Amino acid sequence: MSIISVENLTKSFKQYRKEPGLKGSLKSLFAREYFDIRAVDSICFRIEEGEAVGFIGPNGAGKTTTLKMLSGILYPTSGEVEVLGYLPSERKKEFLKQYALVMGQKSQLWWDLPPMEGFLLNKEIYEVEEKKFKESVGYLSEILGVEKVLKIPLRKLSLGQRMKCELIAALLHDPKILFLDEPTIGLDVVVQKKIRAFLKQYNIEKNTTLILTSHYMDDVQELCKRIIVINSGQIVYDGSLRQLIERYGKNKTLKLVFNGKVKKSDLGVFGEVVEFQKDGLAATLSVPRVTHAALAGKILNTLPVDDLDIAETSLEDIIRDIFENGR
């Protein structure tokens, strides 16, 4: 059963142009030139309960706008959207208590107050029982490793600690859907990894539906089996991560280490030389996916190979290729 259903969803914003200078300002008071921007353009998709879906695209593609319409913050220009059996734009109390939205660039906790104060406020807003509240804070703070900072003012905490507290605040009422908009932005790789591990575990244990937007492909690969790629307000791909790599990743990467010196010209006959060490003892080749196994065998039989690693084209490279070439 679909927990989220979207049909021909569109969101347009009215903007106007203004000429520079005083003359332009005076002119715009009496005759403004308006035009429409379609941030989201007739998109359609369905998401099942418990799915973890990566919603990715370049800046301005319409990702955050879509999340805001799914959560009821923005009203659609046209189309139909249903979440948990509700129309999000109606913002009914029963609906608002069943989802959470975490935005990496916007805090829901109070800057000068300790996180626990914010948790208590959310407890009252979402009408969480005292026993359930204590259990949730205890469980979430322990698994995220922030038990000792809950009574310290938010402004005194590191960015990673603040982000973990934001997640706790969002999950206190056990939401059925968790919208994550760039949850690891600006965090160091260690904290990113810990948050990804937590979200993955939480998704499995609670069967919470996750919808994630991120420019960090590690977030998407670690958490999501399905991805939706959006560009210029339109969906250009909706399917499994594996199928995307097989469909658009036409090449594979061969990373080679030699136990004897090899010339770059000797490697060029097998594929594109992406990297080559000057000492001739290591190189990286890009070869066609369909023939990579045969080419790897020829290299092993021809050159003094000490180590060979075969890897898929990175998701980041595939997504970049889609956006740059409009595929």
Tens of pLDDT along 203-230? 999 999 999 998 888 888 889 989 999 8
Residue 25: predicted pLDDT: 78
Same domain for 156 and 75: yes
Same domain for 241 and 255: no
- Is 90 exceeded by the pLDDT of residue 107? no
Residue 314: predicted pLDDT: 74
Largest distance between two CA atoms of the chain: 78
Residue 218: predicted pLDDT: 84
Q: Which of 226, 155, 166 is nearest to 191 (CA)?
A: 166
Query: Which phi and psi (to 5°) does residue 242 adopt?
Result: -65, -45
pLDDT band of residue 149 (cuts 50, 70, 90) is very high
The residue range of the domain holding 227 is: 2-246
pLDDT band of residue 81 (cuts 50, 70, 90) is very high
Same domain for 197 and 71: yes
Same domain for 169 and 150: yes
Residue 15: predicted pLDDT: 81
In the listed set 224, 246, 268, which residue is the last one of a domain according to the structure? 246
Burial class (CB in 10 A: 0-12, 13-18, 19+), 64: buried
What is the percent of the chain with per-residue pLDDT over 70, rounded to a whole number? 99
Residue 82: predicted pLDDT: 95
How many other CB atoms are there within 10 angstroms of residue 110's CB atom?
14
- Is 70 exceeded by the pLDDT of residue 326? no
- Interval 178-199 mean pLDDT: 88
Question: How many domains are there within the chain?
Answer: 2
How far, rounded to the nearest angstrom, does the alpha carbon of residue 284 sit from its chain's CA centroid?
A: 29
Same domain for 159 and 120: yes
Do residues 193 and 201 touch, judged by C-beta distance below 8 A? no
Residue 325: predicted pLDDT: 67
Cα–Cα distance between 122 and 317 in angstroms, integer?
A: 41
How many other CB atoms are there within 10 angstroms of residue 144's CB atom?
19
In the listed set 182, 213, 246, which residue is the last one of a domain according to the structure? 246
Q: Which of 319, 290, 155, 113 is nearest to 231 (CA)?
A: 319
Same domain for 219 and 118: yes
Give the CATH number for residue 33: 3.40.50.300
18-29, pLDDT tens digit by residue?
788 887 777 777
- Is 90 exceeded by the pLDDT of residue 167? yes
- Interval 146-160 mean pLDDT: 92
Residue 41: predicted pLDDT: 92
pLDDT band of residue 133 (cuts 50, 70, 90) is very high
Residue 287: predicted pLDDT: 87
In the listed set 198, 213, 246, which residue is the last one of a domain according to the structure? 246
Cα–Cα distance between 326 and 323 in angstroms, integer?
A: 5
Give the CATH number for residue 297: 3.30.70
- Interval 42-51 mean pLDDT: 94
Q: Render the burial of 229-242: b for 16+ CB within 10 Å, e for the rest.
A: bbbbbebebbeebe
Q: What is the 3-state secondary structure (H, E, C) of 185-246?
A: CCCCHHHHHHHHHHHHHHHHHHCCEEEEECCCHHHHHHHCCEEEEEECCEEEEEEEHHHHHH
Look at 249 and 96; give whichever has higher pLDDT. Answer: 96
